[in-house]
Structure 1
């Protein structure tokens, strides 16, 4: 568990992020290319996204599909705070798909969303260990499939946004088709310096961040336990 002092040490010892190339990210694919953008400058850490997602998808406590961690950062003015959302990154090269022994986890060719076929899933939880982002929440009893974000497919089918985007009080979450040049996500990535987590892992995430500081190491943050971090 991280306390405030440990968080600041991690910040001080971290390495710089590298931006992602808009030309590479926005290269058109044959079908839709769904993605999400988080603007951490606008995120208030209110957890409205986590609460509404849990209600919408009826997830159990501790198995939330999207979380927001609070980070302490040092700058010239002292200590600053940012909120860092994290969930399934719907990677282009998802390690969870490779780890599934029965092909219950797969990437939809029509839009790139990574989903779980609950009828095929054998609850082995291999995928939860394979995900470098900690985005899959296992069932300790192995009686139920893992929980993960699926961009609220049931809402997309009705022409609605993912519930975390719709309920975001700070308007910090954006969702859309990167192949649509008029979509907000396309324009945000085109016109801003954007980052992804664990870029060196080669998973090619489809969750992008705007406003992240460049002096902390994402791998350490993803491995940290932020529960009651401030105590």
Structure 2
């Protein structure tokens, strides 16, 4: 069984927001919902050596997911391949998962009365052997998606051979499966 992960190279990300737009369009999200915003930090440095850092954010598909553990109805679930998702028919919109997610990766759909989040495009992309829309549309090739347990995969290579790899809030022991290259 695969264990899916994403690697985001912040050195390549230009902050173009193509990933955010592709996600919003293909998931038919309302205008007030974003699953994967790109934050921009900077300028950093002193002239003439100034730069901006773009940090794409999304659900970390944690190995130790506090949202799954906290969900009182079982709507927040995790597949064997690591993808964390919300079963809409079970979600009562209590927002417990929003409160326990340290990454701010869940959003309320006020119209439906449910909580939604990135699911790596599991049904329409990953289960069809394709990469998520945010990866597909990234012009800079800053996002890489794949099986982190497959030693021949690009994700495995990047995580295990790059010295500047990190994960957000690792100290919380959520075991996030989104890695960043700095």
TM-score, normalization by structure 2: 0.93
Paired with 1:165 and 1:33, the residues of 2 have a C-alpha distance of: 17
The equivalent of 1:49 in structure 2 is 19
By how many angstroms is 1:161 displaced?
0.9
Asked if residue 203 in structure 1 is aligned to residue 174 in structure 2, the reply is: yes
**Residue ranges of structure 1 left out of the alignment (5+ in a row):** 1-30, 212-231
The equivalent of 1:123 in structure 2 is 93
Q: What are the superposed Cα offsets for residues 146-167 of structure 1, whole Å, 9 maximum, x if unpaired?
A: 2211010121122211000000
Paired with 2:32 and 2:51, the residues of 1 have a C-alpha distance of: 27
The equivalent of 1:93 in structure 2 is 64
Q: Select 2:51's aligned residue among 70, 80, 83.
A: 80
Paired with 2:7 and 2:150, the residues of 1 have a C-alpha distance of: 15
Q: What are the superposed Cα offsets for residues 103-123 of structure 1, whole Å, 9 maximum, x if unpaired?
A: 1101112x0110111111111
Q: Select 1:61's aligned residue among 11, 25, 31.
A: 31
Q: Select 1:152's aligned residue among 121, 145, 151.
A: 121
Q: CA RMSD in A?
A: 1.4
Asked if residue 102 in structure 1 is aligned to residue 108 in structure 2, the reply is: no
**Residue ranges of structure 2 left out of the alignment (5+ in a row):** none
TM-score, normalization by structure 1: 0.74
Q: If each structure's strand is expressed as a fraction of its own residues, which one has the higher value?
A: 2
The equivalent of 1:169 in structure 2 is 139
Which of 1 and 2 has greater Rg? 1
Aligned residues: 179
By how many angstroms is 1:73 displaced?
5.0
